[in-house]
């Protein structure tokens, strides 16, 4: 094979590889991102930072870090009562969003767990179902 | 040919410099002005009579020495209000020490949002109510007034919170004239708005 052809082939592969990689990170949890922006961002903001002592952050939230398993449950059933997140006190109830299906909740969960500065791993569909079927201690409805 | 391209480059450069100085030194007057017998009557926010978070009565006169920045919301609003508030908070942070600027949020749900609820909201938002006031009052008056600030309000069972409305942030000068506005859900638009607010502050500081 002549060198020109070889280099261009290698280049092509390199480009193909990078393009795939890019779209991969982009496409991961895409549905979760769209659903988050539609159902949650109005209060928790697109960048997950929340608003003062009205709406708690879900980006870098110590509450979420310590209560990962409650996230699916909170989406479906809401959460109320005083809540401390990153040293700030919140006490406005959040209503659940009953129209979200378990699959949609699973996608939003996995989007949030790794979005922005969050590095909270992933959650399997079984774990999501477990959360939805439980009443995690500390959430009173 | 070479000369032509040099000319072209020079011409483009003048375009650039033009754009730079394009920021106006005065803001326009916005709204439906009236023209009567050759006189122009500039659009103005009509008179209102409301109460603030401390149950003090507030009317147009309360702002005669200030530029004020206004929005409409309600505390239980699950849709666009928190996003607009986040942008209002950016404006607040920038002009916190600029005495000529005041900020005013009007509720569209006065039945629920009484003075007490608004006071709690302002303290959760962490703002000084001397600078940023929260107003409530008669429901119909508030709805009418919203229209005067170019905020559309539609009662809608289907809408989140039962009320559909737009999130305009409006800038009003000392005489009650509307001088600028932005879509409060759009951070870039609000960045532009703050440049316009700077221009308006300048208009007044070069007066005295």
Going from N- to C-terminal start, the domains of chain B cover 2-205
Asked whether this complex has an ipTM greater than 0.95, the answer is: no
- H/E segment holding residue B165: strand B163-165
Cβ–Cβ contact A97 with B under 8 A: no
Q: Could you tell me whether strands B67-73 and B101-107 are parallel, antiparallel, or unpaired per DSSP bridges? A: parallel
Q: Are the beta carbons of B125 and A51 separated by less than 8 Å?
A: yes
The alpha carbon of residue A139 is apart from the nearest alpha carbon of chain B, in Å, by: 21
Enumerate the residues of chain A whose CB falls inside 8 A of the CB of residue B85: 51, 54
Cβ within 8 Å of residue A43, ≥6 positions away: A50, A51, A55, A94, B78, B82
A55: left (phi over 0), alpha (psi -120 to 50) or beta: beta
* CA A90 – CA A81 distance, rounded (Å): 8
Strand partners, A51: A55
The residue of chain A nearest to residue B83, with distances taken between CA atoms, is: A42
* CA A53 – CA A86 distance, rounded (Å): 11
Q: Which of B72, B92, B67 has its CA nearest to residue B176? A: B67
Enumerate the residues of chain B whose CB falls inside 8 A of the CB of residue A52: 89, 124-126
* CA B42 – CA B29 distance, rounded (Å): 7
Residue B141 is predicted with a pLDDT of 96
Q: What distance lies between CA A67 and its chain's CA centroid?
A: 14
Cβ–Cβ contact A42 with B under 8 A: yes
Q: Are the beta carbons of A52 and B80 separated by less than 8 Å?
A: no
Q: Are the beta carbons of A42 and B80 separated by less than 8 Å?
A: yes
Using CA atoms, how far residue B78 sits from A27, B23, B73, B154, in Å, is: 28, 37, 10, 15
Task: Please compute the mean of the pLDDT values over residues A36-63 and round it to a whole number.
Answer: 96
Using CA atoms, how far residue B33 sits from A51, B29, B71, B105, B174, in Å, is: 38, 9, 22, 25, 17
Residue B85 is predicted with a pLDDT of 96
Least confident of A39-53, A81-95, A126-140, B44-58: A126-140
Q: Is the pLDDT of residue A2 over 90?
A: no
Please check whether residue A70 lies inside any domain of the structure.
yes
- Which residue's entry shows tokens 């791993």? A121
Please check whether residue A2 lies inside any domain of the structure.
no
Please check whether residue A94 lies inside any domain of the structure.
yes
Q: Are the beta carbons of A52 and B124 separated by less than 8 Å?
A: yes
* CA B85 – CA A139 distance, rounded (Å): 28
Q: Residue B156 corresponds to which tokens in the numbers above?
A: 């809608």
* CA A126 – CA A102 distance, rounded (Å): 10
Residue A139 is predicted with a pLDDT of 57
Low-confidence ranges of chain B (pLDDT < 70): 1-23, 208
Please check whether residue A105 lies inside any domain of the structure.
yes
Using CA atoms, how far residue A17 sits from A5, A24, A25, in Å, is: 18, 10, 13
Residue A11 is predicted with a pLDDT of 65
The CATH classification of domain B2-205, taken from the options 1.10.10.10, 3.40.50.970, 3.90.25.10, 3.40.30.10: 3.40.30.10
Q: Which domain does A35 fall in, by range?
A: 28-138
Please check whether residue A13 lies inside any domain of the structure.
no
* Residue A24 per-residue DSSP state: H
The alpha carbon of residue B203 is apart from the nearest alpha carbon of chain A, in Å, by: 33
The alpha carbon of residue B43 is apart from the nearest alpha carbon of chain A, in Å, by: 33
CATH number of the domain at A36, please: 1.10.760.10
DSSP 3-state of B71: strand
Q: Residue B19 corresponds to which tokens in the numbers above?
A: 């754009």
Task: Please report, rounded to a whole number, the percentage of residues in chain A having pLDDT higher than 90.
Answer: 73
CA angle B19, B24, B30 (to 5 degrees): 125
**Regarding predicted confidence, which is higher, A9 or B18?**
A9
Radius of gyration of chain B (CA): 20
Please check whether residue A60 lies inside any domain of the structure.
yes
Residue A27 is predicted with a pLDDT of 57
Angle between helices B81-95 and B187-205 (to 10 degrees): 30
In this prediction, residue A17 has a pLDDT band, given cuts at 50, 70 and 90, of low
* Length reported for chain B: 208
pLDDT in tens, B45-90: 999 999 999 999 999 999 999 999 999 999 998 888 999 999 999 9
- Which residue's entry shows tokens 């300048």? B202
The residue of chain B nearest to residue A96, with distances taken between CA atoms, is: B78
In this prediction, residue A136 has a pLDDT band, given cuts at 50, 70 and 90, of low
Q: How many domains does chain A have?
A: 1
Cβ within 8 Å of residue B44, ≥6 positions away: B31, B175, B176, B177
Q: Are the beta carbons of A51 and B78 separated by less than 8 Å?
A: no
Contact present, B115 and B53 (Cβ < 8 Å): yes
The alpha carbon of residue A80 is apart from the nearest alpha carbon of chain B, in Å, by: 14
Please check whether residue A4 lies inside any domain of the structure.
no
> Mutation test of the interface with chain B: which of A39, A40, A42, choosing the one with the most B Cβ atoms within 10 A?
A42
Please check whether residue A86 lies inside any domain of the structure.
yes
């Amino acid at each position: 094979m002549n060198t020109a052809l070889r280099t261009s082939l290698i280049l092509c592969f390199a480009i193909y590889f990078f393009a795939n990689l890019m779209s991969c990170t982009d496409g991961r949890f895409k549905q979760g991102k769209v659903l988050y922006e539609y159902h949650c961002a109005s209060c928790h903001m697109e960048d997950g930072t929340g608003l003062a002592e009205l709406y708690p952050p879900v980006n870098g939230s110590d509450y979420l870090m310590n209560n990962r398993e409650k996230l699916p449950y909170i989406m479906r059933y809401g959460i109320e009562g005083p809540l401390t997140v990153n040293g700030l006190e919140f006490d406005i109830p959040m209503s659940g969003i009953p129209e979200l299906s378990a699959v949609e909740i699973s996608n939003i969960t996995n989007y949030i767990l790794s979005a922005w500065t969050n590095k909270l791993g992933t959650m399997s569909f079984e774990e999501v179902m477990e959360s939805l079927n439980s009443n995690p201690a500390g959430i009173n409805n | 040919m070479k000369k032509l391209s040099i000319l072209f480059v020079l011409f483009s450069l003048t375009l650039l410099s033009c754009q730079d100085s394009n920021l106006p030194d005065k803001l326009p007057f916005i709204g439906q002005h009236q023209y009567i017998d050759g006189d122009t009557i500039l659009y103005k926010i009509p008179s209102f009579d409301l109460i603030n978070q401390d149950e003090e009565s507030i009317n147009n006169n309360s702002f005669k020495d200030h530029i004020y920045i206004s929005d409409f919301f309600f505390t239980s609003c699950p849709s666009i209000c928190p996003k607009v508030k986040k942008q209002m908070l950016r404006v607040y942070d920038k002009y916190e020490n600029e005495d000529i600027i005041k900020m005013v949020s009007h509720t569209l749900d006065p039945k629920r949002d009484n003075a007490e609820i608004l006071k709690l909201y302002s303290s959760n938002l962490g703002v000084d109510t001397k600078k940023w006031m929260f107003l409530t009052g008669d429901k119909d008056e508030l709805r009418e007034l919203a229209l005067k600030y170019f905020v559309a309000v539609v009662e809608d069972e289907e809408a989140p919170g039962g009320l559909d409305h737009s999130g305009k942030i409006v800038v009003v000068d000392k005489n009650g004239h509307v001088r600028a506005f932005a879509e409060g859900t759009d951070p870039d638009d609000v960045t532009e708005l703050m440049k316009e607010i700077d221009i308006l502050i300048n208009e007044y500081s070069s007066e005295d």
